[in-house]
Chains A and B, each alone.
Chain A
């Protein structure tokens, strides 16, 4: 497709504008996190933090319970991912590869689940978790997370399964493979990339989650970092330099994971939603 030079320039300007819009707040926060508290309060327009310091990072890491909070988040995230990958992969394989009556209805069922209001579920979940002694535990929180993440996982993962030609499996079946064998040895290795992408997506969502964590955790034994950080902002009134340093530290895992799998994750997200 040919484009006029004017169109090219306009496109570059739009793309650059949005890139700036998306990145600026994060860069600005990073800048703040490197400043001394006095400099933060005094002037707004220093592009580079001069003099720069890592003292905010050291302060938030050693003088707050951020490490413990992040550890709780990591454990909860891991549980969530394991539960979703195990149950979701089996389900999406079944929905993508196997023919059975009611398949369309089950697919629709998982889509409609996304409409259920979280606030409505969260109150009974609170009561159930309390009865099951899962309130204020990391496993309980992870189970609650699957409530809104499993349907998304299944839809995304189904897209990756759909992309693999049926013939491969049929060939294996003709060679005497059972269904289970074909799934385990032929199909699963082929969707490995998609599986990683879906797992990372679920992981990021669980790592970031705030509302469930706020309600279902009450002590520092299971409290996750978004709740902890918000407490530091609201109640403890920590200095901004330390808070931004804490924010930057807590999004580092997200940035790293996102950078690794962004390409296949983007494809999976697009497929999952386009087909949905």
Chain B
């Protein structure tokens, strides 16, 4: 067996042979389900109404989407949720990465602690913050009240105006270390000579940041923003845990809406159509964003 393997390993098929298990798995758990999901979006499929059959209904779900007010609200909330969170996380990440780039004593230990929220499960992170923001038990209400910022106790997640901002805050806490980590790695890759040349020219902190660090980080910023936007758009977990879309529809996002259509109403066809639209939005966003950032590079 071992000798056979050794003999095969010198043939031209070897690279593909090594790829085979991974590619086969990916086809089984990603490609096929995704295609089946797209197919589903053109079908009637209600798990609780199997009597309706599973025939094709053409674009019916997509047309229904256009008339669905919740879809439009979700789309709008998704934009606020993704853009708001990514901007906040990027800002936090930039600040902490620039600060930690100095390698002062104690920074290594601090950076490990700062990374911690990224590795915490959303179930724990979400409930932790729900508890901290709780109107009776929460320490944040107590602190804000003590400082005189708010008069009475505030139920953040019960207020339609505050539920989404509060959720963005929680997600930012969870996600900013991701930006911090990758931007810090990027900063370490900037050659020291650039700083030294700038120091000779008498460049101050702000100059260093704008003329050396930001340009050096541009590729990483583009990549991290795309990756993060994708994962935020795709995962309804935190909102599912914190609010379930409420109060009203104030925190309803597309991924959550699709999830609820599938698992509360068992309307798989409609949920499939929602997911396909989400996928398209994601593709268009990524395409425009990457193109736009490349255009900037050409200047």
Do A and B pair up? The answer is yes
Contact of B123 with A229 in the complex, beta carbons under 8 Å: yes
User: Mask for A243-276, Cβ within 8 A of B = 1, else 0?
Assistant: 1100100110011001100100010011101101
- The answer, yes or no, to whether B110 is at the interface (CB within 8 Å) is yes
- The answer, yes or no, to whether B99 is at the interface (CB within 8 Å) is yes
Residues from chain A with Cβ under 8 Å of B234 in the complex: 117-119
Given known A28-B132, A100-B16, A211-B235, contact A204–B119 (CB-CB < 8 A): yes
Residues from chain B with Cβ under 8 Å of A83 in the complex: 25
User: Mask for A134-165, Cβ within 8 A of B = 1, else 0?
Assistant: 00000000011011001100100000000000
- The answer, yes or no, to whether A91 is at the interface (CB within 8 Å) is yes
User: Mask for B33-45, Cβ within 8 A of A = 1, else 0?
Assistant: 1101110100000
Stretch from A53-61, A124-132, A187-195 contacting the other chain: A124-132
8 Å CB contact of B116 from A1, A26, A229, A250: A26
8 Å CB contact of B131 from A90, A110, A244, A259: A244
Contact of B107 with A15 in the complex, beta carbons under 8 Å: yes
- The answer, yes or no, to whether B82 is at the interface (CB within 8 Å) is no
**Alpha-carbon separation in the docked complex, A3 to B98 (Å):** 13
**Residue with the greatest number of chain B CB neighbours at <10 A, chosen from A25, A128, A250, A255:** A25
Interface residues of B in 1-30 (CB under 8 A from A): 5-10, 12, 14-16, 18-19, 21-23, 25-26, 28-30
Residues from chain A with Cβ under 8 Å of B95 in the complex: 14, 18
Residues from chain B with Cβ under 8 Å of A243 in the complex: 127
**Residue with the greatest number of chain A CB neighbours at <10 A, chosen from B21, B121, B131, B196:** B121
Chain A's nearest CB lies how many Å from the CB of B151?
A: 17
Contact of A100 with B15 in the complex, beta carbons under 8 Å: yes
Interface residues of A in 107-133 (CB under 8 A from B): 110, 113-125, 127-128
Q: Tell me the dominant secondary structure on chain B's binding face.
A: helix
Contact of B127 with A233 in the complex, beta carbons under 8 Å: yes
Stretch from B61-69, B155-163, B256-264, B291-299 contacting the other chain: B256-264
Given known A91-B19, A123-B262, contact A208–B121 (CB-CB < 8 A): yes
Contact of A45 with B104 in the complex, beta carbons under 8 Å: no
Residues from chain B with Cβ under 8 Å of A116 in the complex: 30, 34, 279
Contact of B199 with A1 in the complex, beta carbons under 8 Å: yes
Contact of A1 with B195 in the complex, beta carbons under 8 Å: yes
**Alpha-carbon separation in the docked complex, A204 to B234 (Å):** 19
Given known A91-B21, A240-B137, A247-B124, contact A270–B182 (CB-CB < 8 A): yes
**Residue with the greatest number of chain B CB neighbours at <10 A, chosen from A3, A99, A119:** A119
**Alpha-carbon separation in the docked complex, A255 to B112 (Å):** 11
- The answer, yes or no, to whether A50 is at the interface (CB within 8 Å) is no
Chain B's nearest CB lies how many Å from the CB of A172?
A: 12
Interface residues of A in 204-234 (CB under 8 A from B): 204, 207-211, 215, 226, 229-230, 233
- The answer, yes or no, to whether B80 is at the interface (CB within 8 Å) is no
Residues from chain B with Cβ under 8 Å of A118 in the complex: 234-235, 255
Residues from chain A with Cβ under 8 Å of B33 in the complex: 120-125, 128, 147
Residues from chain B with Cβ under 8 Å of A258 in the complex: 116, 119
Residues from chain B with Cβ under 8 Å of A26 in the complex: 116, 120, 128
**Alpha-carbon separation in the docked complex, A14 to B173 (Å):** 15
Contact of B283 with A115 in the complex, beta carbons under 8 Å: yes
Residues from chain A with Cβ under 8 Å of B113 in the complex: 19, 22-23
Contact of B19 with A266 in the complex, beta carbons under 8 Å: no
Contact of B25 with A95 in the complex, beta carbons under 8 Å: no
**Alpha-carbon separation in the docked complex, A98 to B255 (Å):** 39
Contact of B115 with A123 in the complex, beta carbons under 8 Å: no
Q: Return the 6 tightest CB-CB contacts between A and B, nearest first.
A: A270-B185, A208-B121, A120-B275, A180-B9, A91-B22, A124-B36
By a beta-carbon cutoff of 8 Å, the part of chain A in contact with chain B is 1-3, 7-8, 10-12, 14-16, 18-19, 21-23, 25-26, 28-29, 32, 40-41, 44-45, 83, 86-88, 90-91, 93-95, 98-100, 103, 106, 110, 113-125, 127-128, 143-144, 146-147, 150-151, 154, 178-181, 183, 204, 207-211, 215, 226, 229-230, 233, 240, 243-244, 247, 250-251, 254-255, 258-259, 262, 266, 269-271, 273-274, 276
25 A-B interface contacts by CB (under 8 A): A11-B102, A19-B113, A23-B113, A26-B120, A44-B137, A90-B18, A90-B19, A91-B21, A94-B16, A94-B18, A95-B19, A98-B14, A100-B15, A115-B286, A117-B279, A120-B279, A178-B10, A181-B6, A210-B123, A210-B237, A211-B240, A229-B127, A230-B123, A247-B127, A251-B121
* Apart from A100-B15, A117-B282, A258-B119, 10 more pairs, CB < 8 Å: A8-B102, A15-B96, A117-B275, A119-B259, A147-B29, A178-B10, A208-B122, A226-B121, A254-B121, A274-B220
